[in-house]
Amino acid sequence: MPARGKKHVDATRRYDRQRLHSPGEAIDLVKSLAPARFDETVELAVRLGVDPRRADQIVRGTVALPAGTGKPVRVAVFAAGPAAAEAREAGAEVVGADDLVARVQGGFLDFDVAIATPDLMGQVGRLGRILGPRGLMPNPKTGTVTPEVGRAVREFKAGRVEYRTDKVGNIHVPLGKVSFDRAKLLENMRAVMDELIRAKPAAAKGRYVRSVTVSSTMGPGIKVDPNRARAADEELAATA
């Protein structure tokens, strides 16, 4: 593990690292402890009680963040004809069919989200080894393989993000930027937690939400009480 910077170490001394905080307390700490001079991303990490080695326990999908991510999203769309025109009108940065497939095969990866119409997945499937490891492969489960490409482009640009369990059952989702006010970050946290509960696999047994942590890009992790993580908007309403 790489050595922590002085600012990170100093930040860890300014709070109780073992305490389980309420969502609001955790967000306040993340904002106050963010050490970098740039506008750091606030990230939510949730450890789920699933076995991702089993296909029926993989938790994967998308969630719309009500307050957005605070980050410009570059969208590439594999489409032709009217669907391609629709994607361009919706704001996609890159649109193409066989020509775009060839560009990606040649090393072009200057986009954050890839969307494809179902009729082009035969060609896009050839890019699995390139797009798959980077989490960019279009998939019907995440809404990135769809005939309604215009709507998909608008949703991802407005703050829809993908999530998926890693090999040990963790999910990492951005909640926005440190510069976001408390209300926006809490609103996004509640949306993510609600979505993860909705997506609970039927095969998952025992305690589903094992741990919840929030942090900024360069800051320390703040533990959130898993039993209170979904109450983010209730806490907000109570303190408004």
Buried-exposed string 47-57: b where 16+ CB fall within 10 A, e elsewhere: bbebbbeeeeb
As a whole number of angstroms, the distance between CA 136 and CA 120 comes to 15
Given a contact cutoff of 8 angstroms between Cβ atoms, the answer to whether 154 and 91 are in contact is yes
* Structure confidence at residue 239 (pLDDT): 47
4 vs 89, more confident: 89
| 178's tokens | 């440190």
Sheet holding 94-96, edge to edge: 94-96, 75-78, 113-116
Can you give the pTM of this predicted structure? 0.80
3-state secondary structure of 136: coil
Residue 84 in this model has a pLDDT that exceeds 60: yes
* Structure confidence at residue 22 (pLDDT): 92
Residue 240 in this model has a pLDDT that exceeds 80: no
Confidence at 13, pLDDT banded by 50, 70, 90: low
The number of beta carbons lying within 10 Å of the beta carbon of residue 200 is: 15
The number of beta carbons lying within 10 Å of the beta carbon of residue 208 is: 16
Chain segment 114-135, per-residue pLDDT in tens: 999 999 999 999 999 999 999 8
Adjacent-strand bridge partners of 41 = 177
Chain segment 130-151, per-residue pLDDT in tens: 999 998 999 998 899 999 999 9
Domains in the chain (CATH in brackets) are 6-69+161-239 (3.30.190.20), 75-158 (3.40.50.790)
Residue 9 in this model has a pLDDT that exceeds 80: no
- pLDDT above 90 coverage of the chain, percent: 80
* Structure confidence at residue 12 (pLDDT): 57
As a whole number of angstroms, the distance between CA 35 and CA 12 comes to 11
Given a contact cutoff of 8 angstroms between Cβ atoms, the answer to whether 207 and 49 are in contact is yes
* Structure confidence at residue 231 (pLDDT): 66
Say how many residues make up the chain: 240
Confidence at 5, pLDDT banded by 50, 70, 90: low
Kindly tell me the sign of the dihedral angle through the C-alpha atoms of 14, 19, 22, 23.
positive
Query: What is the enclosing helix (H) or strand (E) of 209?
Result: strand 209-216
Chain segment 201-215, per-residue pLDDT in tens: 999 989 999 999 999
- pLDDT above 70 coverage of the chain, percent: 89
Beta strands in 110-208 (DSSP E): 113-116, 160-164, 170-177
Confidence at 6, pLDDT banded by 50, 70, 90: low
Chain segment 52-77, per-residue pLDDT in tens: 999 999 999 999 999 999 989 999 99
Q: What is the mean pLDDT of residues 171-177?
A: 95
Residue 238 in this model has a pLDDT that exceeds 80: no
Helices (H), 141-208: 149-158, 182-198
* Structure confidence at residue 1 (pLDDT): 41
The mean predicted confidence, pLDDT, of the chain is 89
